[in-house]
Amino acid sequence: MKRALRISGLGVLWGAFVFAGGAGCGTSDSGPQTYVLDRDSNQVAVGALAAIGPFSVPSGAIIDYTIIDRPVGIGADSMTSSIDPGGYAMRSGSSLSGSTGPLPAGYYYLDVSCENLIDDCYFDDEVRATY
């Protein structure tokens, strides 16, 4: 003899509620989040400085950046970069990356100077903040 299992609509709702509670649904503190502040392709003239930003961050935020060299012309580009004001995470070279420690709340820029002798600097950047 076969038995049919009958579940009322209220029973289904109660079961869904219990399952959702057991699966960890609800509010939780997931900790710091990372936000992309800028992602772009850039050209900086020989001897010039590009100030990318400003980026507004809260107290305790950490800014990190990546610069990928896209040379056009003779060899790799020569650049110096930092997070300003303050000269945080200063780096020199062609493809660069840097990270600050926790910063005071404020407005910051990614400064990139082109130190080539002949050709402009071409690069892609990504600037992120974690807070």
**Every domain of the chain and the residues it spans:** 34-130
CB neighbour list of residue 93: distance below 8 Å, 6 or more residues apart? 78, 79
Give the model confidence (pLDDT) of 12-36 as tens digits. Answer: 444 444 444 445 555 567 899 999 9
* Residues 91/93/95/101 CA torsion (nearest 10 deg): -10
Give the model confidence (pLDDT) of 87-112 as tens digits. Answer: 999 999 999 999 999 999 999 999 99
**Structure confidence at residue 8 (pLDDT):** 47
CATH number for the region 34-130 comes to 2.60.120.380
Q: Identify which of 117, 42, 121, 55 has the alpha carbon closest to the alpha carbon of residue 85.
A: 55
**Structure confidence at residue 5 (pLDDT):** 39
